[in-house]
Amino acid sequence: MTNTANTQAQAASKFIDFVTYGTGIVNRARYVKGGRLKTPALYCTIAVPLDSRGTQNGRWVNFDVRVLGKENIALIESMMPAITDGKRPRVHFSIGDAYADAYWKQQQHDENRSPRAQFKGRLLRVSEAKQEAQRELLSYGMAYVNGMDHTRARMDTCVLHGNVNSLEKNYTTVNLPQERSAEIEKALDAVIAAGVSKAKVLAGIVLRDMQCSAFVFREGSQNAGHLGTNVNAVLHGIRWVKVEGETVYQLPKQQAQESAQEPVAQGDEAASPQADDDGADGYASRFDHAFGTGFDDLDDEIPF
């Protein structure tokens, strides 16, 4: 194994990735400086439609992301004049470790403000979509299953990402579709049999149409007056289930391959990720390695 491959393998074994991909429009792009950034960094906001009504009156979710990689930066930079002119370039994307972030929205010509939420993350891959078909908004990752209601309509989960020694945790309500495949039913049976209130249940999950909303903590709460976020999504699939570290369900290999969508670009950029100044050095390398060698194996270092 080459030194580069060795480094990528070691990086992937220490990090858990949560990757979201789909199709959206770029409605804002700008350089940001200050904070931990040694040099200005490129950020953009991608708006994603969540239903067929799309650009007219449908539901939308925003991802405000830092752009990583020379090719990605060059593409977004090339779109900035068009964005300034009011155009909205359409792109396919892959975003790493998305998390909900709340903020106050000041109304124009009004002193009132309202709580809003959007996702933050890192833009790992981006390409022009133009007239290509819309891709589903899907998120691949792993999560603790904290609970399930008796009607099998909802799961409470804790999505994990980051360094295994200091994992980030995103609490997400996962709504279960009414029409479910036989394999999803088998996976849910395994979760229920485990007794999530008594055992630690970890699952490889695929979420669809992840979205977030903001709220204000009520008076009497420890965080009264501060903003919080709610995240919810629809269950798209379950790839495996582990109870106290032991595999109790595994999606058949052929179905796993058929359901997977490959968001990783090939070429020099995939092999030579650009370091960034806020601790994301090698992030694209981890991303490529994880999807190239078996994403589901990354849970081995999760402590139960």
pLDDT of residue 10: 55
Asked if 253 and 231 count as a contact pair (C-beta separation under 8 A), the reply is: no
Structure tokens given for 120: 């933050």
Q: Does residue 157 fall inside a structural domain?
A: yes
CATH number of the domain bearing residue 43: 2.40.50.140
**Are residues 121 and 12 part of one domain?**
yes
The structural domain count of the chain equals 2
Q: Does residue 168 fall inside a structural domain?
A: yes
Q: Does residue 270 fall inside a structural domain?
A: no
Give tens-digit pLDDT for 164-180. 888 999 999 999 998 99
* pLDDT (mean) for 248-264: 67
**Are residues 233 and 205 part of one domain?**
yes
Q: Does residue 276 fall inside a structural domain?
A: no
Q: How far apart are CA 237 and CA 234, in angstroms?
A: 9
**Are residues 143 and 65 part of one domain?**
no
DSSP of 211-240, one letter per residue? EEEEEEPPTTSTTTT-EEEEEEEEEEEEEE
Give tens-digit pLDDT for 262-296. 444 333 333 233 334 444 444 544 444 333 333 34
**Are residues 109 and 40 part of one domain?**
yes
* pLDDT (mean) for 109-123: 87
Q: How far apart are CA 153 and CA 261, in angstroms?
A: 26
Q: Does residue 78 fall inside a structural domain?
A: yes
Domain boundaries, position 172: 139-262
**Are residues 162 and 95 part of one domain?**
no
pLDDT of residue 275: 39
pLDDT of residue 287: 47
Closest CA to 212 of 143, 119, 129: 119
**The pLDDT of residue 258 is above 70:** no
pLDDT of residue 14: 81
Structure tokens given for 69: 């990689």
Question: Which residues does 109 contact at the CB level (< 8 Å), separation at least 6?
Answer: none
Q: Tell me which amino acid residue 144 is.
A: Y
3-class DSSP state of 58 = coil
**Are residues 91 and 201 part of one domain?**
no
DSSP of 135-199, one letter per residue? PP-EEEEEEEEEEE-TTSSEEEEEEEEEETTS-EEEEEEEEPPSS--HHHHHHHHHHHHH-TTTS
Q: Does residue 300 fall inside a structural domain?
A: no
Give tens-digit pLDDT for 4-21. 555 555 544 588 999 999
Phi-psi region of 35 (alpha: psi -120 to 50; beta: other; left: phi over 0): left
**Are residues 72 and 36 part of one domain?**
yes
- What pLDDT band is residue 64 in, cutting at 50, 70 and 90? very high
**Are residues 19 and 99 part of one domain?**
yes
